[in-house]
Structures are given as C-alpha cells and as structure tokens.
Structure 1
Amino acid sequence: MLEIRKVYTHVEETFLEGGKEVQPSIKNIATVAVIKNPWHGRGYVEDLKPEIVAYCPGLGELLVKKLFEVIESADEVEAFGKAAIVGVDGELEHASAMIHTFRFGNQFRNAVEGTSILSFTNKRGGPGTYITIPMVHKTDESKRSHFITFEMNIPDAPRADEIVVAIGAATGGRPHPRIGDRHQDMLEMGLK
C-alpha cells in the first residue's frame, strides 16, 4: 500500500501581464502527492518494477482526479508536464521511477486528451525544494507559446524518506506570446 502523507493543489491565475489584460485569464495548476519512498531503507534495489506496477497507475489517477476538481474538462487544458523530487536519503532513480512510466503518465495524458511527450524534471532535495514543472502544448510539443515553467513548493516536503510527485497543467500558453514559431525560424534560416 502506497503511503501518502498529503496531497496538495496549487493554482495560479493570471489576469494581467506586462500591463495588458489577459483574456481569457490563464490558470496554471499543480496537483502534488507527498509519498513515502517505497524503496527507502532497503539499500540498492535492482528491480524497481514491482513498486512501479503497484503504485504508479493509482498515483496518476489520484493526481488527475485532483486536477479535475479545479478544471471541468480536458478541453480546458492546453499545456502539461510532470515532476518528481526525491528526499535526500533516496536515489534520483526513485523519483524517475514514479513518473517515467506509461503507467503514471498515460493516466494524465489520456485524461486531458494529450498526445505530446510529457516534459519533466526529476531531482533530489529537502523540505521546501521548489517543484519545477516544465510544460508544453498537449498536442504540439514544438509550439513555443506553450513553453511554460510552473514552480511551487511545499514547506515540509520532501522529507528524507519521501518523494514529491506532481503533474502540472495550464489553461493557455504564456500571456501575450510574441517570439514567433520555431518552424518559421527554421524556414527563415534555411534549416527546413
């Protein structure tokens, strides 16, 4: 049984950027679980798959459920990403194991009707470490307007024996994007 200490939802809504109104407003949302590291205290574990199979689908399902408490439908989500932070007594591979599996990621991707790769970060840290969730457009990972990074932290997590696992979603791209499209750049530079 996966031990979940807490679930946390963080919502940021932007109404004004650069002195100009954002219409419609854009929400960045992170749903986060603080879990006991299932490999903590066991020394080096060669095969992480039994815990991945046992815990990742349900963890993904829980975080998606929490996301849909903030949004009403998959149509609202334009960008998405994921992240994990392992506490200082864990291995970086433990954080990676929780999020780098279709058993976890497809719970999110399917729920929001995404086809892009879920961008990610995984790192080690102590309580209060910032969770950095890079996001891309859910169906076109090359769309620059949706290259977003959303950060937040939980003051008491992760503890040394925990893993923080997060998914992030945005209801739009960056406010007032105007740096152009990467495909257009490639054409202009003769690279395509």
Structure 2
Amino acid sequence: MKPEIRKIVSFEEETFIEGFKAAETPVRMFAVAAVIKNPWAGRYVENLRPEVLAYGPILGEILTNKISAMAGGATNIEAFGKAAVVGQNGEIEHASALIHTLHFGNIFREAVQAKSFLSFTNTRGPANAPIMIPMMDKDDGGRRSHYLTLQFNISDAPGPDEVVVVLGAATGGRPHHRIGDRYQELKELGHDVENPAAV
C-alpha cells in the first residue's frame, strides 16, 4: 500500500529587508508539499491506522529529503513545522492522521537532530486554500525568535478527494527579533523556568 502522489510542490522565500531594515543574514524559509489521493475520501472509516502506517514513512522520507536539499543540508535547518490540508470530501481527521504520527514526523526530527516537537496546522479547504506552516526552534520551544509562519498555496490542490501533506523549515529566526524569550517572563511571573506550570 503506497500513497498515490499526484505531484510534489516546493516553495521558498528569502527575506533581505524586514521592517524597513536590511537583515544582517537573509532568512530563508521553505516548504515541500505532497499532493496525494485521500484514501478515505467520501466515506467514514473507523480504522485509519493501516494507511497511516503505510503512508507515513514514505511521505516522511520524500519530504524530508527534499526540504533538506533545499536548505543545503539538514544541519542548516533551525526552525521547523508541518501541515496538512484535506479536500472537501475528507475529514479534518484525515489531515491529522497523516501528519500526527511518529512514522511521519520523526523522520524529519531525526534528520535535523531536533529536541522540540513539530508545530502544526491541520485544516480543510478547496484548491488554492492557504497552507499555513507554524514553526519553532528545533531545539528550544521557548526561543521566540524562531516563532515563524510560512504561507503559500497550490492553485489546483487539494482537490475534493486529495490531501496536501507539508513540511516547513527555516534557516534562522525573524531578522530583527526583539521580544525576548519565554524564560525572562516566566521569572518575572514567579514561575519555575524548568517547570512553567508550577507557581
């Protein structure tokens, strides 16, 4: 059982000037998307696991290899995220199923040697729907400089019976980040930095 991939779409942007000021180092953000046939479209399926187990490693490997190459190597990736958009004949659960599995996401996490979890969106939409990929630092979820969102769209996807599965990455944080990290505010509020839920 393999995913039926209609096409792979790559997107890249490089920011040289942000907020009327040149970036010291241009920030590059990337996305790679697989447009696949939704194996559950148009019907309710109780057990999604067979397709998840079959599709996850294949899509994870293809997209990880492509996005790593776009970045000039996985070690150049500092921030990362994932997304899925299911077409109108599918459920949000279908989008979720394909990206919220270690059989998909851990391939990317291991390639970039990440400690953080992959931030995500899972939505439903028509062709040309916005694809939003929230990102965070691969090693430090509290490092606000790397809270980024990459947005793009594919003019003919997802079709009603398709799912778009996406990985996103960035080579750095926002060019002029100056809002600090979570840790200083946790201290100001009297929270234990190592255990933020404790007061």
**For residue 13 of structure 1, what is the aligned residue in structure 2?**
14
Correspondence 1:2 to 2:6: no
2:69 aligned counterpart, secondary structure: coil
Partner of 1:129: 129
1:174 aligns with 2:159: no
User: Could you tell me how far apart the structure 1 residues matched to 2:81 and 2:133 are?
Assistant: 6
Letter in 1 for 2:106: N
What's the counterpart of residue 85 of structure 2?
Answer: 85
User: How many Å separate the matches in 1 of 2:111 and 2:126?
Assistant: 31
Relative to structure 2, which stretch is displaced further, 51-60 or 179-188?
A: 179-188
Aligned partner of 2:47 in structure 1 is: 47
Alignment partner, residue 163 of structure 2: 163
Give aligned pairs, total: 191
Is 2:25–2:175's contact at 8 Å kept on the other side of the alignment? no
* Secondary structure of 1:47 counterpart: coil
State the Cα distance separating 1:85 from its structure 2 match: 0.4
Secondary structure of residue in 1 paired with 2:164? strand
- Report the 3-state secondary structure (helix = DSSP H, G, I; strand = E; otherwise coil) of the residue aligned with 1:68: helix
Distance 2:181 2:69 in 1: 33
Distance 1:67 1:190 in 2: 40
SS at match of 1:66: helix
Q: Aligned partners of 1:190, 1:54: CA distance in 2, in Å?
A: 47
String of CA shifts for 1:39-83, please: whole Å, max 9, x gaps: 124x21111110011111000101011112312222211100000
Q: CA contact under 8 A between 2:136 and 2:146: conserved in structure 1?
A: yes
Whole-angstrom CA distance in 2 between matches of 1:85 and 1:151: 13
Runs of 4+ that moved beyond 6 A: none
Listed as ranges, the gaps of 5+ residues in structure 2 are: 193-199
SS in 1 for 2:70: coil
> Is the contact made by 2:119 and 2:134 (CA closer than 8 Å) also made in structure 1?
yes
| C-alpha separation in 1, matches of 2:123 and 2:37 | 16
Could you state the TM-score of these two structures normalised by the residue count of structure 2?
Answer: 0.93
| Bigger Cα displacement from structure 2, 65-74 vs 100-109 | 65-74
**What code does the residue aligned with 1:135 have?**
M
What letter is aligned with 1:4? I
- Secondary structure (helix, strand or coil) at the match of 1:75 reads helix
User: Displacement of 1:122 after TM fit?
Assistant: 0.1
Write the deviation string for residues 5-25 of structure 1: whole angstroms up to 9, x where unpaired: 110110000111122221221
Q: SS of the counterpart of 2:94?
A: helix
TM-score, normalising length from structure 1?
A: 0.96
Structure 1 segment 106-117 matched on structure 2, within 5 A: 106-117=106-117
- Percent of counterpart pairs with the same letter? 55
Shift of 1:115: 1.4
State the SS of the aligned residue for 2:15: strand
Distance in structure 1 (CA, Å) of the matches to 2:41 and 2:189: 50
In structure 1, distance between residues paired with 2:74 and 2:64: 11
Inter-partner Cα distance in structure 2 for 1:11 and 1:23: 19
